[in-house]
Amino acid sequence: MRADQVIIEPVLSEKSNIAREGETKKYTFKVHKDSNKFQIMAAIKELFQVEPVKCNVMIVKGKPKYSRGKGGNILGNTGDWKKAVVTLAKGDTIQAIEGV
Q: Residues 6, 39: contact at Cβ < 8 Å? A: yes
Alpha carbons 84 and 14: distance in angstroms, whole number: 16
pTM assigned to the model: 0.87
Length of the chain: 100
Per-domain boundaries in the chain:
3-95
pLDDT at position 100: 64
* Tens of pLDDT, residues 20-53: 988 888 999 999 999 999 999 999 999 999 999 9
* Tens of pLDDT, residues 53-96: 999 999 999 998 888 877 778 788 999 999 999 999 988 899 88
Alpha carbons 31 and 35: distance in angstroms, whole number: 7
Distance of CA 74 to the CA centre of its chain: 29
Q: What CATH number was assigned to the domain covering residues 3-95?
A: 3.30.70.330
